Amino acid sequence: MARSPRKTRYWSLKKSTAGPIRIRSGPLLVTADPGCGKSVLAKYLIDHGLPRSTTICYFFFKDQDQNTVRQALCALFHQFFSQKPSLIEHALPLFHRDGQGLINSTESLWKILRNAIKDPQAGPVIMVLDALDECAESEFADLMRNVRSQSYGGQLGHGKLKYLLTCRPYEQIMSEFHGLLDAFPNIRIPGEEESEAISKEVNRVITHRVNQLSEKKSLSRDIKSHLEKKLQETTHRTHLWVYLVFDYLEKGNFKKTQKGVESTIAILPRSVNEAYEQILNNRPLTLSEMNVAMNIYDTSQSFHDLDLEKEMDFKSSLRSSCGLFVLIHYGKIYFLHQTACEFLLADLALPITVPSELPWHHSITTRDAHAVLTELSMRMWKPATPSIATPS
């Protein structure tokens, strides 16, 4: 996850009537549009902003892979009991009863959380849940029901457990918070209404990144200033766009003159979607290449037929093919950002429109993606045709 200069979190911290970095009571919900730095904000607060006297636990939801309440609770418990090991006693009765099956019961996991937080030794606790919009839709209602019930002081002791939540401003998510507004009128910081402040933050990030780039490429003061000015004049700039654009600038070479800077700016992506398109066009990906990447061919008859690379070699090949479009974390492959998946996937509910100038934009349907995976799986598990010995 990209790091951002501390000063860039100014709008969200200042807008919080709960104080710059203190959550006095109830949950605090930070909403903002895609690519505006919600996850970077969450990480900054975890690392620097929240009070050190508080037990801080966190979970970052990721669509499709890291998106269940069970995964979130298990991660939160691991952090909580690591910091408060004596409180693990609250989990032992249910663990002795259910064994390994305990992690599959969200009802039992919520019960453990309530009991542990009630313990006087728990002290104040802040749970940070990032990207609620990437939580599995079938589990989101259960998550919000428990957050609501724990936000009222009676069960756990007033103010002991607080939630810091981030998400996109989707109506189906916002509706779950309407019931809390009367009790906690300052529950939400709407970043989507702070476009001017966010633009100023992005400009500060650009200044910071240009300074770093200037040192790396030995830019003169005039060229550095010109590059900074041109980048800050870009209309659709977000934190994610800055991250993608500076990857191009750091890896590429450009003429260190004003015209050279302007020529480079002219070919840089003007939006996140254009950045994704350029990443994919650096080396076009085809279905046959994906088959090669997965090492499954029409002629493959068994696992032993697959010409597998070593893990580190395959990792390098994948990054070479996909560039910044994917990231690899603990051996698992993720899209760089949820918007990367949305950029590729077509919405079948929308009417057919004029073809986009970006060939990769909405170029894949969920049905096609599933069909490819099904075909590859069938090839992998198709039993080999046994040979029949010819009688002598």
CATH number at residue 174: 3.40.50.300
Domain shared by 290 and 354, yes or no: yes
Q: Is the pLDDT of residue 388 over 60?
A: no
Cα–Cα dist 129/89, whole Å: 25
Cα–Cα dist 134/137, whole Å: 8
Domain shared by 41 and 126, yes or no: yes
Domain shared by 122 and 12, yes or no: yes
Tell me the residue type at 84.
Answer: K
pTM, two decimals, is 0.63
Domain shared by 221 and 313, yes or no: no
Q: What is the pLDDT of residue 174?
A: 83
In a domain, 388, yes or no: no
Residue range 367-377: mean pLDDT, rounded: 70
**pLDDT tens sequence across 197-217:** 888 888 999 999 999 999 999
In a domain, 159, yes or no: yes
Domain shared by 262 and 282, yes or no: no
Higher pLDDT, 128 or 191: 128
In a domain, 89, yes or no: yes
Q: What is the pLDDT of residue 33?
A: 83
Mean pLDDT of the chain: 78
Give the domain-ending residue among 215, 235, 270.
Answer: 270
Domain shared by 23 and 82, yes or no: yes
Domain shared by 32 and 145, yes or no: yes
In a domain, 392, yes or no: no
Domain shared by 176 and 266, yes or no: no
Domain shared by 75 and 22, yes or no: yes
Residue range 214-223: mean pLDDT, rounded: 92
pLDDT band at 183; cut points 50, 70, 90 = low
Please state the domain count of the chain: 3
Q: How far is CA 379 from CA 157, 291, 370, in A?
A: 57, 11, 14
| Domain assignment of residue 100, given as a range | 6-193
Tokens of 167: 């998400």
Domain shared by 75 and 122, yes or no: yes
Give the domain-ending residue among 220, 235, 270.
Answer: 270
Q: What is the pLDDT of residue 175?
A: 82
Domain shared by 285 and 266, yes or no: no
Give the domain-ending residue among 193, 219, 238.
Answer: 193
**pLDDT tens sequence across 241-286:** 888 888 888 888 888 899 988 888 887 877 777 776 666 665 434 4
Higher pLDDT, 290 or 263: 263
Q: Is the pLDDT of residue 166 over 60?
A: yes
Q: What is the pLDDT of residue 125?
A: 93
